[in-house]
Structure 1
Amino acid sequence: MTDLRLTAVQLSEPGSGPLLVLGPSLGTSVEALWAPVVSRLADSFHLVGWDLPGHGRSEAPAGSFSVADLTAAVLDVVDRAAGPGARFAYAGDSLGGAVGLQLLLDAPDRVTSAAALCTGAKIGTQESWAERAEQVRASGTPRMVEGSAKRWFAPGFIERQPERATAVLHSLQEADAEGYALACEALAAFDVRDRLGEIAAPVLAVAGALDQPTPPASLAEIADGVQAGRLVVLDDVAHLAPAENPDAVAALLQVHLQTTDADRHASGMTVRRAVLGDAHVDRANAGITDLTREFQDMITRYAWGEIWTRPGLERRDRSLITMTALVALGHHEELAMHVRAARRNGLSVDEIKEVLLQTAIYCGVPAANTAFRIATQALADEE
Structure 2
Amino acid sequence: MSDQPTPPPVLGAVRFALRDTARPLIVLGPSLGTSVEALWRDAAELLAPDLDVIGWDLPGHGASPALDGPATCEGLTVADLAAGVHRLVMAAQAERGDTGAPYWYAGVSVGGAVGLQLLLDMPDVVRGAVLLATGARIGDPERWHERADLVATAGTPTQVTGSAERWFAPGFVGAEPHVTTRLLAALQTTDRFGYAAVCRALARFDVRDRLGEIGAPVVAVAGGHDMVTPVASLEEIAAGVRHAGLRVLDDVAHLPPAEAPAAVAAVIRETVRGGDHGNALPRTDTARRDADRGRGMAVRRAVLGDPHVDRAVAGTTPFTAGFQDLITRYAWGEIWTRPGLDRRMRSAVTLTALVAGGHWDELGMHVRAATRNGLTVDEIQEILLQTAIYCSVPSANHAFTVAQAVLREDGLL
> TM-score with structure 2 length normalisation?
0.66
The residue aligned with 1:254 is: 269
3-state SS, counterpart of residue 274 of structure 2: coil
Q: Deviations over 1:148-167 (max 9, x none)?
A: 11010111111111111111
Please state if 1:237 is matched with 2:244.
Answer: no
The residue aligned with 1:176 is: 191
- Work out which of the residue numbers 17, 23, 29 in structure 1 matches 2:29: 23
User: 1:228 and 1:163, CA in 2 relative to 1: closer, same or farther beyond 3 A?
Assistant: same
Please tell me whether the aligned partners of residues 17 and 43 of structure 1 are also in contact (alpha carbons under 8 angstroms).
no
3-state SS, counterpart of residue 11 of structure 1: strand
- Within a 5 Å distance, the mapping from 1:11-160 to structure 2 comes to 11-15=16-20, 17-62=23-68, 63=72, 64-83=75-94, 84-160=99-175
User: 1:135 and 1:245, CA in 2 relative to 1: closer, same or farther beyond 3 A?
Assistant: same
The residue aligned with 1:6 is: 11
Q: Which amino acid aligns with 2:40?
A: W
User: 1:308 and 1:219, CA in 2 relative to 1: closer, same or farther beyond 3 A?
Assistant: closer
3-state SS, counterpart of residue 245 of structure 2: strand
Return the alpha-carbon distance in structure 1 between the equivalents of residues 92 and 220 of structure 2.
26
User: 1:106 and 1:323, CA in 2 relative to 1: closer, same or farther beyond 3 A?
Assistant: closer
User: 1:81 and 1:127, CA in 2 relative to 1: closer, same or farther beyond 3 A?
Assistant: same
3-state SS, counterpart of residue 258 of structure 1: helix
Q: Deviations over 1:286-306 (max 9, x none)?
A: xxxxxxxxxxxxxxxxxxxx9
> Mind listing any 5+ residue stretches in structure 2 that lack a counterpart?
1-5, 294-325, 344-382, 388-413
- Give RMSD over aligned pairs: 3.0
Q: Which amino acid aligns with 1:41?
A: L
Q: Which amino acid aligns with 2:116?
A: L
User: 1:57 and 1:317, CA in 2 relative to 1: closer, same or farther beyond 3 A?
Assistant: same
> Mind listing any 5+ residue stretches in structure 1 that lack a counterpart?
269-305, 330-360, 366-383
Please tell me whether the aligned partners of residues 243 and 281 of structure 2 are also in contact (alpha carbons under 8 angstroms).
no
Q: Displacement, 1:322? A: 9.5
Return the alpha-carbon distance in structure 1 between the equivalents of residues 148 and 142 of structure 2.
10
Q: Displacement, 1:310? A: 5.9
Q: Which amino acid aligns with 1:133?
A: A
Q: Displacement, 1:318? A: 11
- Work out which of the residue numbers 196, 220, 224 in structure 1 matches 2:235: 220
* Greater mean alpha carbon deviation, residues 77-86 or residues 127-136: 77-86
Please tell me whether the aligned partners of residues 308 and 318 of structure 1 are also in contact (alpha carbons under 8 angstroms).
no
> TM-score with structure 1 length normalisation?
0.71
3-state SS, counterpart of residue 205 of structure 1: strand
Q: Displacement, 1:324? A: 7.5
3-state SS, counterpart of residue 277 of structure 2: helix
Q: Which amino acid aligns with 1:71?
A: A
The residue aligned with 1:293 is: none
The number of equivalent residue pairs is 296
Q: Which amino acid aligns with 1:39?
A: E
The residue aligned with 1:294 is: none
Please tell me whether the aligned partners of residues 204 and 256 of structure 1 are also in contact (alpha carbons under 8 angstroms).
yes
User: 1:125 and 1:254, CA in 2 relative to 1: closer, same or farther beyond 3 A?
Assistant: same
3-state SS, counterpart of residue 19 of structure 2: coil
Q: Displacement, 1:61? A: 3.0
3-state SS, counterpart of residue 259 of structure 1: helix
Return the alpha-carbon distance in structure 1 between the equivalents of residues 246 and 333 of structure 2.
22
Return the alpha-carbon distance in structure 2 between the equivalents of residues 153 and 224 of structure 1.
26
Q: Displacement, 1:265? A: 7.5
User: 1:308 and 1:117, CA in 2 relative to 1: closer, same or farther beyond 3 A?
Assistant: closer
The residue aligned with 1:161 is: 176
Identity of aligned residues (%): 50
Return the alpha-carbon distance in structure 1 between the equivalents of residues 170 and 281 of structure 2.
43
